[in-house]
Amino acid sequence: MKIAALILAAGRGQRFEEDLPKQYYILEGRPILRHSLALFSAHPAVTTIQTVIHPDDRTLYNESARGFDLSSPVFGGETRQDSVRMGLESLARENPDLVLIHDGARPFVDFGVIDRVLTGLESTPAVIPAISIRDTIKRSDGNGQVVETVDRSNLYASQTPQGFEFSRIFEAHHQARGENLTDDAAVARKAGLSVRIVKGDSANVKITSKADLLYKKSRGGGDIRTGSGFDVHGFKEGDQISLCGVDIPCDSALRGHSDADVALHAVTDALLGAIGAGDIGAHFPADEIEWKDRESEYFVRHTCTLVQAMGGEITNVDLSLICEKPKINAYRSHMSARLAEILDLPVSRVNIKATTTEGLGFTGRREGIAATATATVRMG
Ligand code: CTP
Ligand code: MG
């Protein structure tokens, strides 16, 4: 299933009243747009990310997108609706099954919202996240006089990402060309699509004016995350295995796709766990040719980029190898140095332990190696 994320960043942010467009304003150390790019990049179901930008912002955009694997941006138009249509046109080449259309000015979106939209799309062609209205709503006569209190029981404030079957929303946007509808659900409704509401998130605000930055999620220095990882590979005939990227002579080799580096696989899972980004199988599917014979080191490095992109800093990694053979001790310092290099951490923040299982179980029978890892990440 091909799922594209279309991220809108071509607006001028007039209501924000700053010299630079609001999506490039720095929030928690990173441009507002980068928050969404990081989250969608880290989501295992998203296969393509297409951004829509303003031609004047190329340099700002390049800075915000540094390090991510994104399609080249396309330029947007006068209105948000024009920008979405232009983005959908560029996606038409690869014709995704689903598209998630997201305001680059909503930096606090999380996996919960994205997952609820994707789940909704399993049974309906258009889904929006929305929250119920808490304030009492008044209608005025246009001159400051209240004429009516509006029943709010069925009113919702819509958010993004709004999710659609790609071909349906593509068609709907072509039909609605020239209007100025402020969200894609309105475009979908005009084309007669039924649109389902799923639970949004009150933190998922769109930054419109400076005051909206006060909503910023509090995730100061105390936001420490921990992840754990576990992996096993069985022995096969051979004379060498790779652990933490170090080749170790052994009277067996390890079975498995890529270099079967059980240690680096456990570390990758621990890091993904710490940032809430699923597991190694979702990010690097074994049946996809792209990952087929990649060295495991690549998985760790790519995951480190995700951690950084999400504003995280790895504070330490602890790894345990469980096996009767090979004897790890002689290679331990070499492996620590290599792992620290791959993680770009000082060696003092990496620890490698080894144990046998006293002859018990599959490791005791010398059938393979197990590895467990813990990673700690401080979110900035
Ligand atoms: N957007 C866009 N192209 C436009 C207008 C808006 O891609 N021509 C994007 C914005 O960059 C933003 C999202 O659509 O991520 C929501 O729009 P809005 O909050 O209105 O942003 P701006 O149009 O930039 O702000 P303003 O209306 O205050 O000028
Ligand atoms: Mg606008």
16: CA distance to ligand 1 center in Å? 10
78: CA distance to ligand 1 center in Å? 9
Q: Is 355 helix (H, G, I), strand (E, B) or coil?
A: strand
**Nearest Cα to Cα of residue 270 among 169, 130, 148, 376:** 376
pLDDT of residue 215: 64
* Element holding 90 (H helix, E strand): helix 80-91
- What are the pLDDT digits (tens) for 78-101? 999 999 999 999 999 999 999 999
Helical H segments across 213-331, by residue range: 262-274, 280-283, 296-309
pLDDT of residue 255: 94
- What are the pLDDT digits (tens) for 238-276? 999 999 999 999 999 999 877 999 999 999 999 999 999
pLDDT of residue 216: 63
**Which ligand ends up closest to the CA of 76?**
1
Q: Closest ligand 1 atom to the C-alpha of 8?
A: 7
364: CA distance to ligand 1 center in Å? 61
Q: Which of 57, 74, 103, 182 to mutate to test the pocket of ligand 1 (most atoms within 8 A of CB)?
A: 103
325: CA distance to ligand 1 center in Å? 59
Q: Which of 35, 75, 80 to mutate to test the pocket of ligand 1 (most atoms within 8 A of CB)?
A: 80
Residues of the chain with pLDDT under 50: 219
